Structure formats: C-alpha cells, structure tokens
Structure 1
Amino acid sequence: MKSKQTIYNGWLENERKVISPHFDQRPDLKDISLLVIHYISLPPSQFGGGYIDDFFQGKLDPNQHPYFQEIYQMRVSSHCFIDRVGKVTQYVSFNDRAWHAGVSSFQGREKCNDFAIGIELEGDNDHPFTDLQYQKLIQVTKQIMNTYPLITRERIVGHCDISPNRKIDPGQYFDWDRFLNHL
C-alpha cells in the first residue's frame, strides 16, 4: 500500500481527478460529520468501461446501453470512486456537497449530502468486493477521519442506512467488520 494518503483543500493528493459539475457549496464546511459507503456499476453488474466517469460528469451516452437511456439525464456525483483494482477517482472536493445520498436521513437529520462525504465502490449486490478495494477504502477513510474529525467509526454508514426503503448499497457482500476493524 502507498504511503499515508493526504488531503489538501478537500482533494486527495496523488489520486486521479475527474471534475463533476454536479455539486454545490455545503451550508456549513465545519459540519462534515458523516461518511456514506455506496456501490455502483454501469451498466448494472458490469465492471470497467469508464461509464462512471461519464455518468458523474453528465456525459453518459444513452445510445451506449439500453439502461443508460433511463439514467443519462440524472445529475448525480460522489466525492470518490474506488474501482475493482483499487484505483481512486475523485469527482468533487470533500469541502463541497456532492449529490450522492438523495432523499436521506441520519439520526433524525435530513439531507445527508449537506454534511456527508460519499465514497462509491465499483460493485453490486451479487459480487464480493476485492482486497484492493478494501485496502484503498481503509486508507482513504483513515485520512478522511484525520482531516474531518467529526467523522468517527459510529458515523460511517451505508447508503442503505440513510435511505433504508430506497437503497441497499453497499449490499450483502460488504464486510463491515473487515472494514471497521482496520480503522
């Protein structure tokens, strides 16, 4: 694993950046206090292909796959994405509000995007995540927790936890014990 990950002005240093236009300013920069773990694959259950970059940039071509015709006009993003080989791409500064959580609530507080950081893992509900993904997720999470100390182990959740009737990610194969025990 690489040396300690650092964050400067909300950006992971030494990681790939693909800027998404789908973000805005947080209501309170000092309130970053939740980490949300998601999964994504485009097309569903297919890995690789670069479509996630296109999706988060609003450039997804609806003619590339029938499923894309349903989602290509959505305006969504995540702060980071970790692919199957552990490569990180950051789309939005942690200091800004990415549009990843949608309708959500944590401990009675609505609009989790206001105070959350979102990390997408390349995956689905049918495949285990890779060792490289866990290694990189642990590394990035440790640095996020160091930079944003209001994010504690108790304030790391899955999308399913903040949108329980709407979302199931990070899904049945995400090993919470493996992840949390290394933080």
Structure 2
Amino acid sequence: MSSDDTTGVKYPHARQRASPNCDARPSNEVSVVVLHAISLPPGQFSGAAIEALFTNQLVADEHPFFAEIAHLRVSAHFLIRRDGECVQFVDTDQRAWHAGRSRWWDSRCASLRQALNDFSLGIELEGDDVTPFTKAQYQALVKLVRWLMARYPELDESRVTGHAHIAPLRKTDPGPAFDWAYFYQALSNESVNGL
C-alpha cells in the first residue's frame, strides 16, 4: 500500500471506536491476520465491557474478573460482535497491541518471526473456546478479511492464523469452537452471503 493511500486504514463497514492502545508500525508491512476470541466477563456475551477494555475505560469493581484486567493496555484492529457488527479500534496502518509475546513460522521467508504486532492485524471475535460462533460472525469475518486482502498484497488465506498458533503456551483462542474449515471454505466461495 502506498503511503498516500489512506483508503485501507478505515473499514467502511465498521463502527469506529478509537483505542489509545496503538502506535506506529516499525515498517509498512502488513502480512498476517491474527484471529482472537474474547468475552467479558468470561463466557458472557453482549454488553460494553470489551469496548471499555480496548479504550481503557473498564471499571474494575463492576465484576471480580474486571479487577484482574482493568490495568491492561490492549487493543485489536477489529471486533466482530455476535450479531455480526464490526467495530474498528485501530487504523490498519497502525500497530494494535493484540498479539503480545508471539512467534510465527513464515514459510515465505523460511524463518521464525517474533513480535507479530509489528506486521499483523488483530481481529477479535466475541466468543469463547466452547460456544460456537454465529453465522453472522463468519459472514462479517469473511467480508472483512477479503477487504483486507484486497488492500494488503502480502495477505492471503494462508496468512490468517489464530492467537493459539502464535502464542501456544499462553493462549487458546479463537479455540476449538472456531470452525477453521468452514471459514476457509467461505473465504474461497464467491458469495459471502451464501454461507
């Protein structure tokens, strides 16, 4: 993407909610998409807690679990809610703080790469390890990933991975409830509405 092209930083089908938890990438490279799953409190869906976490507005005394995480400074580029709504927190040309300590075998350059925040995009799916994700979420995810692949030539379906794959001793998301085969099949289909 050229430096004067700003059409790829804001997804036109997302509600914008800026997170302060981001900074400049060390280079213009965007070559991996990392899928995550999040529910706050754990196992509960809907509500404003996820957006509050990503914008440093989570109230620690609203739930015992919130007291454990309210100090965290984390974000993702996107969140896809259970109903398929997409929320964008960080411009895609910026580095979101989503991957943490991470490493990934890049088959294109035959090397183990670390610090994936530097060159990845983070997509959070509202969910957990055991609850199936919704059809609306898969539809929204496929639409978003196609849009990202059209804007970043390094991206293709082989460069979409899960948080568990890049931080296997720390993370399990998006978890066994995420149907990778279904997602890849939908991504390769002509019509996203035909899921």
Check whether TM > 0.5. yes
Q: Which residue of 1 aligns with 2:148?
A: 144
Number of residue-to-residue matches in the alignment: 176
CA distance in 2, matches of 1:14, 1:126: 28
SS in 2 for 1:177: helix
Unaligned runs of 5+ in 1: 1-6
Percent identical pairs in the alignment equals 44
Does the 8 Å contact 2:8/2:151 carry over to 1?
Answer: no
Deviation at 1:9, TM superposition (A): 4.3
Larger radius of gyration: 2
What CA deviation, in whole Å up to 9, does each residue of 1:66-125 have, x standing for no partner? 000000010000000000000000000010000000000011101000000000000001
SS in 1 for 2:145: helix
Q: How does 1:13-162 map to 2 (within 5 A)?
A: 13-29=12-28, 31-107=29-105, 108-162=112-166
CA distance in 2, matches of 1:106, 1:146: 23
Deviation at 1:182, TM superposition (A): 2.0
Structure 1 segments of 4+ aligned residues over 2 angstroms from their partners: none
SS in 2 for 1:182: helix
CA distance in 1, matches of 2:14, 2:129: 27
Report the residue type matching 2:170 in the other structure: R
Q: Which residue of 1 aligns with 2:193?
A: none
Report the residue type matching 2:14 in the other structure: E
Q: Which residue of 1 aligns with 2:3?
A: none
What CA deviation, in whole Å up to 9, does each residue of 1:37-66 have, x standing for no partner? 000000000001111110000110001100
Unaligned runs of 5+ in 2: 1-5, 106-111, 188-195
